Structure 1
Amino acid sequence: MGTAPAAQGLGIGGVLLRRCLREQHAAGLSHTQIGWVGPVPFYATAAGARIERVFFLYQKNL
């Protein structure tokens, strides 16, 4: 999910997120996982999300 840079900070992303979650709830889902989320504060504020798993990406230049 993403919001166009010009529209960031206007609340559009939060509205879209909550609508998606409502539709999933209406479809019978009780839990949702959002993979590779960022920024975490946005999701925590907009939907009360919490961090459940953390993955680290390591890279080595050869």
Structure 2
Amino acid sequence: MGSPIQDKSNQVQFLKQRLNMFLDVLEAIEPEETDIDDIDRLIEMIDDIESKCREFNHRDM
């Protein structure tokens, strides 16, 4: 893995990229063909983004 992102601007950019990836995946899903594994993956992506937000908030302290 790379070094931790310390700069606030880079942290925001990182989170924007992650959210855009999530939106891309969400838009690509066909509702009729979605199964529980797809839903689990979406939840995992949101959990990862939330975890990064908490991590970035703790770095600012």
TM-score normalized by structure 1?
A: 0.40
Question: Does 1 or 2 have the higher relative contact order (CA < 8 Å, sep 6+)?
Answer: 2
TM-score normalized by structure 2?
A: 0.41
Give 1 or 2: higher helix fraction: 2
